[in-house]
């Protein structure tokens, strides 16, 4: 059934991850190949090594129902078995921030979990690996505070 609206992008892990990264979170795609009969669609990890929040998207593929998102940090900042039913990524971002999940740039997490040679939507440019270490691609790229202090 097509109601004239575009596909609900919040259900797609690429869009979901992009929007969270644009908001300053470190996000890893964990899994997106659940069984066809499973209501889980995909799982991501927010701020690994820090607050470590798993977000799993659930929806009924056959009936094309609205998506629900389970947020799980083991009950540290978010209640256990907590679900949000929404079509807006802003609702999820606001909930994370209001419950102590930091979206401030965390260079240690980004450098540990995001490969520096990948271009992402946060404005970081690629670097090249040389015998002496990482060589920055241009002078206008963002570098960590650790690299700016000599």
Query: Could you read off the pLDDT of 76-126 as tens digits, one per residue?
Result: 999 998 999 998 999 999 999 999 998 875 655 566 655 554 444 444 444
Query: Which pLDDT tens digit goes with each residue over 20-67?
Result: 999 999 999 999 889 888 889 999 999 988 899 999 999 876 666 678
Check residue 75 and give its pLDDT: 94
Contacts 24+ apart (CB under 8 A), 67-72: 67/8, 67/10, 67/11, 67/41, 71/95, 71/96
pTM of the model: 0.67
- Provide the pLDDT for residue 108: 57
Q: Which of 51, 59, 49, 47 is nearest to 10 (CA)?
A: 59
């Amino acid at each position: 059934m097509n109601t004239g609206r575009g596909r609900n992008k919040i259900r797609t892990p690429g869009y979901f991850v992009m929007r969270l990264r644009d908001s300053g979170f470190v996000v890893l795609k964990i899994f997106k190949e659940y069984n066809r009969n499973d209501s889980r669609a995909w799982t991501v990890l927010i701020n690994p090594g820090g607050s470590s929040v798993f977000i799993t998207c659930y929806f009924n593929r056959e009936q094309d129902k609205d998506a629900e998102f389970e947020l799980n940090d083991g009950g540290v900042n978010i209640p256990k078995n907590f679900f949000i039913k929404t079509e807006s990524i802003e609702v999820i971002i606001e909930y994370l921030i209001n419950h102590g999940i930091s979206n401030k740039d965390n260079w240690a997490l980004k450098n540990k979990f995001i490969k520096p040679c990948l271009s992402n939507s946060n404005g970081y440019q690629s670097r090249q690996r040389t015998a002496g270490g990482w060589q920055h691609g241009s002078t206008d790229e963002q570098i960590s505070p650790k690299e700016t202090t000599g």
